[in-house]
Structure 1
């Protein structure tokens, strides 16, 4: 007995297992009796049925939370007071988790393929490269200091248009991001921009809003690769598609809110995009090369694909190879650069 204690005390874990092996094995104890088997009726009452695949929650990440269910998505969509932005913002807040059914990254991670770094997760965790979001308690940035600022929010697809244009033209260090909490807006924001919406660009002591007007302004007033074409045919087609973008978004959002199957209007809108992508055969984008039209549609085409899979069990790009190439090609089109603070 003494040498066992000495082995444990002096040599610790090295000799302790050997000493224990010298002891006779303990008498095995019988396993506990199994619990009484419940009847089939009681099992049906006590065990809830498994949820369908679209309502399964993804495994939570460290410090994160599971994805909302299909019902949560639908309730938020129906309660959205401002249409498309509020509806899409709901899903973008859960961007850090892949789709349960498809395994694809959800909307905002797909937008990273168009030059957007990962946005905050639904708990508000933001990469260290991202500026903090300003709330009603935040001070106003200095005015008339010559800086160019893009007032934005991380989870709005209209903002993503301006964000993609900024990154494509290489203006990360010339156009500063100023994220605004739209649910808790600073009082000073409505004073500098009475429309009180994002995105808006502060440049040369004036404010430019409306996402389509803003990306045209950025293309015409800043250096970097051009996002418009000199070909009259392509430019005319670009204006037609830019004018149609709101119609496309409204048709898709109405289909998301509809409790039935995918509507005929949504199918027609998707087919129009598919056909439009094949009009010019010199590239995967609408005009062949990356342009303002691609920026206008990218956040919505990609975002709607994720929402329809999770809410409607309908893949908007299945059987539409041009749309599949369009989303994939965005990976190389825009540099994935972190925004300047």
Structure 2
């Protein structure tokens, strides 16, 4: 199963490359109010590498990549802008030193911390949550923890269904409806808030970057509103957009749409 997951993520990394044209734990609580961060330019093959393993914690991302966006949201939500330096990589013109000196897998995201580099987006979200101060992203309630793991395990399957449907001809498949209805039903599990575990958590972070892209693409290209008949999903999207840590990481949906349409030839 892990091998299948890695293969799927590699395929999406290829898609992200095309997109790049557009360019101490505490109880769960509200994220700190954030000021707008000045984002550094993406590093290219002509860029010099940072001073690797100099004690600085660095999060390597690509602004366009949904996997990287997961870790970026977690960093921002926990208020770690001054503690984790953002290092954006241009996926279409990525520097050779990134693979040679930092992360042999040559993917984003990766995290340089305590003289080690780690990868895989969901593992990194959990790592950031457990190793740095700020609002907790995983609740203490065992029932919520169990449900969180179920939803995290499902996330790759969900994304696969949705991405597979994007270039398909004709009407949206029943498989897409089933996948979206599963997410809609998940909101009914807990009643203490509009998010997937009631309160905002790492599960929302796992799904948000992808559903954002799916909503725009399916509406424009297939005239299919993923929120129609799904009030919980609609409310979730509305509430997500009120969270600075999320909204500050979003790429203009129209830029994403144009790049995705070009990628799929639609």
Is this contact kept in 2: 1:88–1:303, CA < 8 A?
A: no
Is this contact kept in 2: 1:164–1:334, CA < 8 A?
A: no
- Indicate which of 68, 93, 97 corresponds to 1:159: 68
- Indicate which of 22, 27, 44 corresponds to 1:135: 44
Q: Look up the match of 2:5.
A: none
Give the deviation of 1:331 after TM superposition: 2.9
Distance 1:92 1:181, change over 3 A: closer
Q: Look up the match of 1:271.
A: 181
Distance 1:164 1:310, change over 3 A: same
Distance 1:204 1:82, change over 3 A: closer
TM-score between both structures, scaled by the size of structure 2: 0.80
Point out the structure with the larger helix share.
Answer: 2
- Give the whole-Å Cα distance in 2 for the aligned partners of 1:193 and 1:224: 27
Distance 1:90 1:143, change over 3 A: closer
Is this contact kept in 2: 1:150–1:202, CA < 8 A?
A: yes
1:252 aligns with 2:180: no
Larger Rg: 1
Matches within 5 A, 1:156-235: 156-191=65-100, 192-235=102-145
Give the deviation of 1:116 after TM superposition: 11
Give the deviation of 1:338 after TM superposition: 6.8
Name the SS of the counterpart of 1:166 in structure 2: helix
Name the SS of the counterpart of 1:296 in structure 2: helix
- Give the whole-Å Cα distance in 1 for the aligned partners of 2:35 and 2:125: 15
Unaligned stretches of 5+ residues in structure 1: 1-80, 96-114, 118-127
Q: Which has the higher contact order (CA 8 A, sep 6+)?
A: 2
Matches within 5 A, 1:1-341: 83-87=11-15, 94=22, 129-191=38-100, 192-335=102-245
Name the SS of the counterpart of 2:93 in structure 1: coil
Distance 1:308 1:133, change over 3 A: same
Distance 1:266 1:93, change over 3 A: farther
Deviation per CA, 1:18-64, whole angstroms, max 9, x where unpaired?
A: xxxxxxxxxxxxxxxxxxxxxxxxxxxxxxxxxxxxxxxxxxxxxxx
Is this contact kept in 2: 1:208–1:214, CA < 8 A?
A: yes
Deviation per CA, 1:173-200, whole angstroms, max 9, x where unpaired?
A: 1111111111111111112211000000
Give the deviation of 1:261 after TM superposition: 1.1
- Give the whole-Å Cα distance in 2 for the aligned partners of 1:283 and 1:200: 31
The count of residues paired between Structure 1 and Structure 2 equals: 230
**What's the Cα RMSD here?**
2.4
